[in-house]
Amino acid sequence: MVEDDADMAESLKASLTADDHTVDVAGDGELGQSMASEGGYDVIVLDRMLPKKLGVSVVRDLRDQGVSTPVLILSALHDEDHRVEGLNAGANDYLGKPFSTRELLARVRALWNGRDREPQTRLAVGDLEMDLLARTVKRSGKKLDLQPREFRLLEYLMRHAGQTVTRRMLLENVWDYHFDPQTNVIDVHISRLRSKIDRDFPQSLLHTVRGSGYRLEG
């Protein structure tokens, strides 16, 4: 983790450690870059505003050096231009402050799981199967009829099966919306999806994680 605010670094480190990660902290961009390029890390959490070297330059230089470790940029500047700039520089995810610790843990976990993943054409969780080419979904061999958006929602959940996925992650990745709805819109979409994939089956796959989001698990 590259973070210059010592309090913030300590509190995030404690949370990540409690979530079974081992964390090294670098206090500025240059140190962060040299540690990251030595390798051995699974995920890099990088603050955007750093002393000595900005987070965006660190990612760009790491990618130029051929370091492909997944990078999550944390930023107080949560607007479209900065997000696009960060992602273009080679970051894998971009999280605007303020964020909850759970949000950060979920995203780190998603990056950690996503390392070295091959492009897939079929996804499966328990007896739920998705064919990405034919765009069909079956459960226990029975075909389920999903709307295009429900399909994308389920696809994202299946790609992150076993992990907690936050509402904000769904909003950003399924709808490409970068604002916080004040209403429970996401929950309603989830409950509609749930009624299609879980209602007629004895075992539930889509679980609510209280205070965080959702998890699809077989």
Partner 1 sequence: MRPDLGALLKTTTFRLGLVQAGVVLGFVVALLLYVYFETAGQLIRDSDVLADQEYASLERSYAEGGIRRLNQEVVERAARPGSMLYILAESSGHVIAGDLPTLPSIPGSSPQRVDFSFDRNTADGSATHVRARGRMGRLLSGPILVVARDLGDTAFIAGRVTRALWTVAILGLALSVISGLLAAWQAARRAEVLAGTAREVMGGDLTRRAPVLGIGDEFDELAQAMNGMLDRIEALMQTTRTAGDAIAHDLRSPLTRFRQKLETALEQPPNSEADREALRKAVEEADRLLDMFAAILRLARVEAASNWRLERVNVTDILQELAEFYEPAAEEQGLKFSAQVNENLAVRGDQGLFTQAVSNLVENALKYTPSGGRVEVRAMQRPDGRVEIDVLDDGPGVAPAERDRVVERFVRLEGARTTPGAGLGLSLVAAVARLHRGGLHLRDGLGDDGKGLCAALVLPALEMAP
Q: Which residues bind partner 1 (CB under 8 A)?
A: 78-81, 98, 100, 149, 175, 177-185, 188-189, 191-192, 211
Complex with partner 1: residue 135 or 149, whichever CB lies closer:
149
- C-alpha 55/C-alpha 93 separation (Å) is 13
Give the residue with the Cβ less far from partner 1, 18 or 188.
Answer: 188
Closer to partner 1 by CB, 17 or 147: give it.
147
CB of 34 to partner 1, least distance (A): 33
Rounded distance, CA 124 to CA 122, Å? 7
Q: Nearer Cβ to partner 1, position 60 or 102?
A: 102
- Tell me how far, at minimum, the Cβ of 156 lies from partner 1, in Å: 15
Which residue lies nearer to partner 1 by CB, 107 or 189? 189
Q: How far is the CB of 164 from partner 1 (least distance, A)?
A: 17
